[in-house]
Amino acid sequence: MAAPRSFSAAEVRARCAEGACLVRCRRRLYDLSGFVRLHPGGEQLLRRRAGTDVSAALDGPPHRHSANARRWLEQYYVGEMEPGEEQIPAMAPPLLGHLLLPPPHRRDEPDGLGQRKIQPEPVDEQEVDAAAQTPARMDPRCKTVDVEKDLVDWRKPLLWQVGYLGEKYDEWVHQPVDRPIRLFHSDFLESLSKTAWYVVIVVWVPVVLYLSWVSYTSLAQGNTRLFSSFTTEYSIPVHKYFFPFIFLVGMFLWSLLEYLIHRFVFHMKPPASNYYLITLHFLLHGQHHKSPFDSSRLVFPPVPASLVIGFFYGVLQLLLPEVLGLSVFVGGLCGYVIYDMMHYYLHYGSPKKGTYLYGLKAYHVKHHFEHQKSGFGISTRFWDRPFRTLIPEETFEKED
């Protein structure tokens, strides 16, 4: 294995000034430039730490990073700091790169033109020699993600491999990596398993608008009555002005359905001996936990989504009068669209600190990286409370 590349403090400062986001843990250097927008704590938080040692920040406060988060960091390892040059000043954001402050442990001295030039403080040569003899060790809670030595062959479609992992599958699938996933050999099937976020809007928003209009105009005819199949004398007429309320009921029911599907279907633990259930789990949701930032797999593709949506439409038509069932359905469909868009945003958006979405993003990332058996609410944490699966707040704090 080739020796890791060495970086000088001046090189790190120059790259950060150009907009890169390099951080270090002791002497190990990481390039987080491609991850800053995805960081749960916000882009600016990482930008402010550019060029600094984040070892203490990993333990918090305000947030103690999980073992999976530390493994995730190792994917961005680029080399080592040169001995004696571990002290790098915090970098200003890229737009302020020309206003960088002088590095710490330096002093200003006037030059011959009356200007002040920066002179380095004397360096203790014994400390430099000691640093050079000290190997750069990785945090023992981490292990480098080596796709060449992984349990699966990343050069081939994964769907037909994961079933053979057996009892190792559950641990493997919950150790996320930052790389795209291919499921199928067939390019056609592969294309059906992936979709861009805007496809959900293009496909389903017109359906929501059209069915909303159909529901409202049908209710306006005054022919819809509740309990009419049991009794005509005591049946309740459903007025057209009830449509917004029925629509909201559909959205509320979707939020419950979202929770139940996520918890009991997507997070079922398949038996280690059952190849097919492991494969099914990976197809439904395991792929997302293995590669949580694969942008093409964050929303449901319209073809498989239409099958599930059609099933629930049929159920509502059996349980409720036709127009009433359609009104509830369209509210639920709108809830699904909001859920899918919110889920994408929680992975790729940068909500403002202190907002509802900021807290929800941190909550959802906790679900991916540390609390896979809780935190099943995505668009809301409401159902996690009565079902006792709320991620406890104290886990966000630094332990004494």
- 351-372: per-residue pLDDT in tens? 888 899 999 998 999 999 989 9
Question: From its phi and psi, is residue 264 left (phi > 0), alpha (psi between -120 and 50) or beta?
Answer: alpha
* Tens-place pLDDT, residues 136-174: 444 444 444 565 678 999 989 999 999 999 999 999 999
- Confidence tier at 87 by pLDDT (50, 70, 90): low
Residue 177 tokens, joined: 């990596």
Identify the pLDDT of residue 42: 74
Which DSSP helix (H) or strand (E) runs through 100? none
164-214 confidence digits (pLDDT tens): 999 999 999 999 998 889 999 999 999 999 999 999 999 999 999 999 999
Tens of pLDDT, residues 223-233: 776 655 555 56
Q: What is the mean pLDDT of the chain?
A: 81
Q: Where are the alpha helices (DSSP H) in the chain?
A: 9-17, 43-48, 55-59, 67-74, 125-133, 169-173, 187-192, 197-220, 243-260, 275-281, 287-290, 302-319, 322-348, 356-369
pLDDT tens digits for range 297-335: 999 999 999 999 999 999 998 988 888 899 999 999 999
- Residue 66 token pair: 């999980």
- What pTM did the predictor assign? 0.76
Phi and psi at 222, nearest 5°, equal: 80, 20
Tell me how far apart the alpha carbons of residues 272 and 31 are, in angstroms, rounded to a whole number: 37
